[in-house]
Amino acid sequence: MMAKQQRKTYSGVKNDKERTMGKLIRAVGTVLQEKGYTGLTIANISRKAGVDRKLVTLYFGSVENLVETYIKNKDYWVAATVGAMEYFGQSPKEGSKGFLESLLINQMKEFAKNEEMQKVVLWQISEKSDIMSKVTQEREKMSALFFAFADREINQENLDLRAISSVLVAGIYYLVLHSKNTDSLFCEIDLTTDEGMKRIEDAVKKILKWTYESVGVKS
């Protein structure tokens, strides 16, 4: 009887901790939306979560670690790394083009609907921080997996796929942020409409088609 009571108590403490950690992680997103990255203080986050601020340090070590945990849970590229490991581990016959195209198009769609990550990227490019440096290093794991796979398929002396991918990723980030933060057209395209974003999606596909065809890889 005593052993059962101990297990129940332990389970309850563990569940309470997990619930509190979940509240704090969600609170980071809420504060980010309401106040921006400058509002990500231990006071604001704990108040929004409705918990004692001491629990931030107890469960995460620091507010910086809490924010980093939140971003890694939300970041598209960090999540995509898991799928990439499975994909490349199976030695797919489809080649790298299809994977890269899917990766970029999905990135654009996910980023367009994730207001919290839009603020995170604005933070990344406007202010140097240890948190964003760590997240960027996580994203680079995705790049390392993909390019190692692509290098076996494409002669990098004839095609700098890394540079081309960089331009496409950066372009997607900028165009989405432009569509969310301005009321103006971009090169006469209304990026606030489905039709406008579809044009960008088609352009990404066409650029990749031309890129791979330039080195004799058929689409």
DSSP assignment of 71-121: HHHH-HHHHHHHHHHHHHHT--SS-HHHHHHHHHHHHHHHHHH-HHHHHHH
Does the structure show a pLDDT above 50 at 2? no
Residues 94 and 104: their CA atoms lie apart, in Å, by 16
- Sign, CA dihedral 31-118-73-8, equals positive
Q: Helices marked H in 114-185 — which ranges?
A: 115-126, 130-151, 161-181
Residues 75 and 72: their CA atoms lie apart, in Å, by 5
Structure pTM?
A: 0.78
pLDDT tens track for 158-191: 789 999 999 999 999 999 999 988 888 999 999 9
Residues 74 and 108: their CA atoms lie apart, in Å, by 14
Dihedral pair phi/psi, residue 62, rounded to 5°:
-165, 165
Dihedral pair phi/psi, residue 131, rounded to 5°:
-60, -50
The pLDDT of 29-51, averaged and rounded, is 91
Whether the CB-CB separation of 154 and 162 falls below 8 Å is answered with no
Give pLDDT, residue 152. 83
> What is the CA angle 172-173-176, rounded to 5?
80
Question: What does DSSP assign to residue 148?
Answer: H
Residues 191 and 72: their CA atoms lie apart, in Å, by 27
Whether the CB-CB separation of 147 and 160 falls below 8 Å is answered with no
Residue where the block lists tokens 């990255």 = 37
In this predicted structure, which of 23-27, 92-96, 187-191 has the lowest mean pLDDT? 92-96
